[in-house]
């Protein structure tokens, strides 16, 4: 195992896949000479040349559209979109084309593209550069959606995404690039669609992904001080969603809190809560709770930003309220 940053694990995955498969190439704004907005592609232009590390114009529709065309004709493009907010400019190419071509051509054509993009708060970047828009893409049949939290998962899942025959939206929280973690030295892949138990527990299940997974772990530590053992599930993949792992955990604990940085309304937490209610109706000891961002545009002021998104205290409070929930008997 080698200790490395999240961004370095991603770069290692790109390098290894480009060495392994000459069809893999990169395209996006400032990914070549500049090395990427968050330095993920630094040094790859010098190693692989401008034919495989392509600096594009500032046009997200062009980037994704070119990647779709290249994938349909045998390439394995990895497109970088500087901020997930800017994928709004490429929704036709991603949602109406990439996600549907395999189906509409009767399975004759594959679109093996990976769209790497950055999202999330923590830098005071404002309402147009800080959103978490995973629910947009999870809603679309034909897309896979990945959101790793650790350097090990970032590398293993990116390699799997590049080898996948389907379009994959690969979400990287901008607050994770500098975190460090152990990454195996040997060749490995992490299957898309498989969650992991980040911390075992017996009293309540905390379900999260990406940066908020670390907040869930901090909340579990805080709860443990009062004798509460919380199990933490790191989803890793948002679509397909590993409901088998989630249900197995909640069937045991009978209580669950879902945490994400995206806005509350129609976020992924609502989908998970609904599926748990359908699967475990009558077996839950309390309603599934959600801890998410408030339904307002994100401010550039970093102090206000912190008030809007989940923190450890909010997760602990939600868990305690869930554990203290009792069914009130109604009287005629």
Taken in order 181, 184, 190, 195, is the CA torsion positive or negative? negative
b (16+ CB within 10 A) / e for 8-34: bbbbbbbebbbeeeebbbbbbbebbee
For the chain, give every residue range classified as CATH 3.40.50.970.
2-183
Judged by DSSP in three states, 6 sits in: helix
pLDDT on residue 325: 75
What are φ and ψ of residue 288, in 5° steps? -70, 130
Q: Residues with Cβ < 8 Å from 282, sequence gap 6 or more?
A: none
pLDDT one-digit tens code per residue, 233-269: 999 999 999 999 999 999 999 999 999 999 999 999 9
C-alpha to C-alpha distance for 226 and 219, rounded to whole angstroms: 11
Active-site residue list = 60, 129
pLDDT on residue 306: 93
Query: In the structure, what pLDDT confidence band is assigned to residue 328 with cuts at 50, 70 and 90?
Result: low
**Does the pTM exceed 0.75?**
yes
pLDDT on residue 329: 45
For the chain, give every residue range classified as CATH 3.40.50.920.
196-323
pLDDT on residue 331: 45
pLDDT one-digit tens code per residue, 274-307: 999 999 999 999 999 999 999 999 999 989 999 9
Q: Which of 144, 184, 183 is nearest to 163 (CA)?
A: 144
If you average pLDDT over residues 120-130, what whole number do you get?
Answer: 91
End-to-end CA, the chain: 64
pLDDT one-digit tens code per residue, 269-280: 999 999 999 999
pLDDT one-digit tens code per residue, 84-105: 999 999 999 999 999 999 999 9
Assess if CATH 3.40.50.970 describes domain 2-183.
yes
What CATH class does 196-323 carry? alpha beta
């Amino acid at each position: 195992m080698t200790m490395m940053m999240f961004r370095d694990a991603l770069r290692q995955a790109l390098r290894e896949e480009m060495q392994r498969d000459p069809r893999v190439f990169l395209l996006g704004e400032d990914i070549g000479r500049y090395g990427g907005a968050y330095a993920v592609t630094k040094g790859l232009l010098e190693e692989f040349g401008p034919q495989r590390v392509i600096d594009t114009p500032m046009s997200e529709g062009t980037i994704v559209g070119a990647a779709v065309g290249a994938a349909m004709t045998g390439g394995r493009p990895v497109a970088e979109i500087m901020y997930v907010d800017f994928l709004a400019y490429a929704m036709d190419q991603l949602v109406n084309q990439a996600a549907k071509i395999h189906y509409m051509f009767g399975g004759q054509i594959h679109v093996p593209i990976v769209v790497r993009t950055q999202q999330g708060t923590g830098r005071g970047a404002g309402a147009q550069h800080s959103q978490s828009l995973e629910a947009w893409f999870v809603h679309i049949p034909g897309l896979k959606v990945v959101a790793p939290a650790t350097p090990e998962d970032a590398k293993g899942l990116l390699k799997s995404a590049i080898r996948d025959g389907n379009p994959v939206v690969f979400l990287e929280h901008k607050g994770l690039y500098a975190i460090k973690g152990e990454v195996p030295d040997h060749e490995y892949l992490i299957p898309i669609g498989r969650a992991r138990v980040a911390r075992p527990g017996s009293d309540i299940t905390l379900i999260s992904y990406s940066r908020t997974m670390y907040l869930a772990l901090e909340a579990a530590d805080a709860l443990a001080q009062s004798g509460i053992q919380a199990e933490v599930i790191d989803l890793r993949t948002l679509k397909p969603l590993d409901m088998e792992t989630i249900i197995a955990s909640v069937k045991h604990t009978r209580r669950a809190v879902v945490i994400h940085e995206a806005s509350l309304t129609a976020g992924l937490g609502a989908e998970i809560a609904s599926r748990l209610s359908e699967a475990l109706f009558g077996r839950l000891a309390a309603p599934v709770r959600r801890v998410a961002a408030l339904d307002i545009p994100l401010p550039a002021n970093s102090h206000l930003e912190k008030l809007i998104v989940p923190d450890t205290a909010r997760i602990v409070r939600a868990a305690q309220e869930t554990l203290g929930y009792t069914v009130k008997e109604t009287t005629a």
